[in-house]
Structure 1
Amino acid sequence: MSKKVIFLDIDGTLAEPGHSEPPASAIEAVRKAQAAGNLVFLCSGRNYGMLSSFLEYGFDGVVASAGGYILCGENVIYDCPMTDAQRIKTMDTLTESGLCWIAECRDEAYASDSFKAFVEKDVDEQVSSEFLRWREFVKKTFSIRSIEEYRNQPVYKFVATSPSMKRLDAPRKALEEEFLFCIQDVSHGVVNLELINRKFNKGTAVRKVCEYLQIPVSDSVGFGDSMNDKEMLETAGLSICMENGSEAVKRIADEVCPKVTEDGIWKAFQKHHLM
């Protein structure tokens, strides 16, 4: 069997949203896959700084910021932050439109005051996984800092919440030519989204890694659960969505595996002889 390159999303795929500890079965699957000669990459919307708790498990590389920062081993093979003009325009546009937002740098992330207030409010049990993910990030030590501490570091990506789709009209008009508005979900009328530079996505990351490693894209395997995984799943030779994933992503994937809480990674690796 030819060597495979496996790309694992984190939140909702390798671990529960906002958590820093994968199931033991997933880590064992990764190690067995590597022992079998395959390579395993993290492929996350998180910035590099939010991956620290996962790096200790010895992955072969990292795709961070939804494709904006890529490491193969110790080598940075792609690094594409926003320009200063893009960053300033985005911050101003989101604020003027009344959106809550987080600016993600390589190692830290900076939340608008309105964002922290938003995720700290009381919610019922039906709130979205995206909301819960960011609540966990703000509560824990994921380097989410106040925007007052920001000192013009390069920004790779913005996360935002909008009280309605209508409120996105002005930001889209101003920014959509340069940024994909990746709608992760809509829960209780609140829109959760990421603004991703059109120069990259997780799909372009799969191609860049395979090209660097001189491995055919057809020998890549992608695992994901949400809309920022769309391009990765469309690009990978084999695409697998978690059962806990969105219905739209399930329709894109070649198949669906059990939930992250039901040893989905282990079972899929075993089924496809990746271990």
Structure 2
Amino acid sequence: MISPRIAFLDVDGTLIDSSEVVAPSTIEAVRTARANGHLVYLSTGRASVEIYPAIRDIGFDGAISAGGGFAEIGDELVISRTMPEDAVARMVGFYEESGYDFYLQAFDELFPSPGVRGRFATYLQDDQERRGEVRTDLEAVTDADEHPALKAFANVRPLSYTGIAKSVFLAADLMAYDRVSEALSGDFHVITGTVPHMGRGSGEVTLDGVNKGTTVLQLLDMIGLDAASAIGIGDSTNDIEMLQVCGVGIAMANATDVVKAHADEVTTSVREDGVWNAFRRHGLI
């Protein structure tokens, strides 16, 4: 009998690429691994509400979201690592004083500043021009009529200071990351942005100690599996701790050099069957 393994898959740059398409081999890999008795979890910087239905429909055993802020087993929320209200207020105050756009991630809600939707709309338009020829063998995970993020970011309303696990800041100021790090260091974990549309002046903020890796360990303890049985696959800065704590940390070929330096091995890219090849190599399929 094969001992069950557990795999944690990042979304952007791992499960899907920057054009938000998924390779059919990735879908097959996830479903076959689960049919073989292994567990497959999402582990993403997205809030739960930002995980598109087409992604969830692939079929997963659960999800870590908001960069480690929350974790679900099935559809049950089992871990919630949110910020104290005063910490959220301090963070938001700095963004507003600096003139940075931002959004706050609760478990099932987003709270964007007014400029976020416009920034994302511009990115989508630019991305359409960059894509050129569309490959028909890849499956889109978004509705072509209206991008789900545009709907979410259009809902500008009073901010919530409770239930917030993470924020994302977006700025034209290329020094924004350095400024946020300096202002919030000590109490917060600040990393560079991990999704292309955020731009070079962007980043992500959780409480100090809250990241994918520490939440993976908490979740493994709840499930009753050892970290040695875990496989983590990712490509971005917010994946580093996950790659470090899993028994096998795998970087995508499209990962940054910094991320690759923390991985045990490198698989192929999103469009070149990276998840399938990693699962095959480690006996999940």
TM-score for the superposition, normalised by structure 2? 0.83
C-alpha offsets along residues 153-187 of structure 1, whole Å, 9 cap, x if unaligned? 52221111233454445533432222111113699
Q: What secondary structure is seen at the aligned counterpart in 1 of 2:280?
A: helix
C-alpha distance in structure 2 between counterparts of 1:186 and 1:31, whole Å: 26
C-alpha distance in structure 2 between counterparts of 1:243 and 1:210, whole Å: 27
Distance change (3 Å), C-alpha of 1:27 and 1:212: same
Distance change (3 Å), C-alpha of 1:25 and 1:180: same
Asked whether the equivalents of residues 112 and 147 of structure 1 are also in contact (C-alpha less than 8 Å), the reply is no
RMSD after superposition: 2.7
C-alpha distance in structure 1 between counterparts of 2:64 and 2:83, whole Å: 17
Kindly indicate which of the two structures has a greater share of residues assigned to strand.
1
Task: Give the stretch that moved more between structures: 93-102 or 176-185.
Answer: 176-185
Asked whether the equivalents of residues 6 and 231 of structure 2 are also in contact (C-alpha less than 8 Å), the reply is yes
Distance change (3 Å), C-alpha of 1:221 and 1:107: same
* Aligned twin of 2:257: 247
Asked whether the equivalents of residues 103 and 157 of structure 1 are also in contact (C-alpha less than 8 Å), the reply is yes
1:233 Cα deviation (Å)? 0.5
1:11 Cα deviation (Å)? 0.5
Distance change (3 Å), C-alpha of 1:185 and 1:77: closer
* Aligned twin of 1:161: 170
1:268 Cα deviation (Å)? 1.4
In structure 2, the gaps of 5 or more residues are 131-142
- Summarize the alignment of residues 77-96 of structure 1 with structure 2, pairs less than 5 Å apart: 77-96=78-97
1:151 Cα deviation (Å)? 5.1
1:52 Cα deviation (Å)? 4.1
* Aligned twin of 1:51: 51
* Aligned twin of 2:212: 202
C-alpha distance in structure 2 between counterparts of 1:213 and 1:109, whole Å: 28
C-alpha distance in structure 2 between counterparts of 1:245 and 1:147, whole Å: 32
Partner AA of 1:230 in structure 2: I
Aligned residues: 264
C-alpha distance in structure 1 between counterparts of 2:194 and 2:108, whole Å: 26
Asked whether the equivalents of residues 112 and 146 of structure 1 are also in contact (C-alpha less than 8 Å), the reply is no
Asked whether the equivalents of residues 103 and 112 of structure 2 are also in contact (C-alpha less than 8 Å), the reply is yes
C-alpha offsets along residues 212-263 of structure 1, whole Å, 9 cap, x if unaligned? 1111101100000000001000111001111111111111111111110111
C-alpha offsets along residues 14-36 of structure 1, whole Å, 9 cap, x if unaligned? 112363x5322111111111122
* Aligned twin of 2:247: 237
C-alpha distance in structure 1 between counterparts of 2:155 and 2:86, whole Å: 18
Asked whether the equivalents of residues 7 and 221 of structure 1 are also in contact (C-alpha less than 8 Å), the reply is yes
Partner AA of 1:140 in structure 2: H
Task: Give the stretch that moved more between structures: 167-176 or 155-164.
Answer: 167-176
1:197 Cα deviation (Å)? 1.6
Partner AA of 2:163 in structure 1: P
Asked whether the equivalents of residues 171 and 202 of structure 2 are also in contact (C-alpha less than 8 Å), the reply is yes
Distance change (3 Å), C-alpha of 1:3 and 1:186: closer
Identity of aligned residues (%): 30
1:123 Cα deviation (Å)? 5.3
Distance change (3 Å), C-alpha of 1:155 and 1:220: same
C-alpha distance in structure 1 between counterparts of 2:178 and 2:14, whole Å: 31
C-alpha distance in structure 2 between counterparts of 1:208 and 1:55, whole Å: 22
TM-score for the superposition, normalised by structure 1? 0.86
Q: What secondary structure is seen at the aligned counterpart in 2 of 1:145?
A: helix
In structure 1, the gaps of 5 or more residues are 127-135
- Summarize the alignment of residues 1-275 of structure 1 with structure 2, pairs less than 5 Å apart: 1-17=2-18, 19=20, 22-53=22-53, 54-121=55-122, 140-142=147-149, 143-146=151-154, 148-150=156-158, 152=160, 154-184=163-193, 190-275=200-285
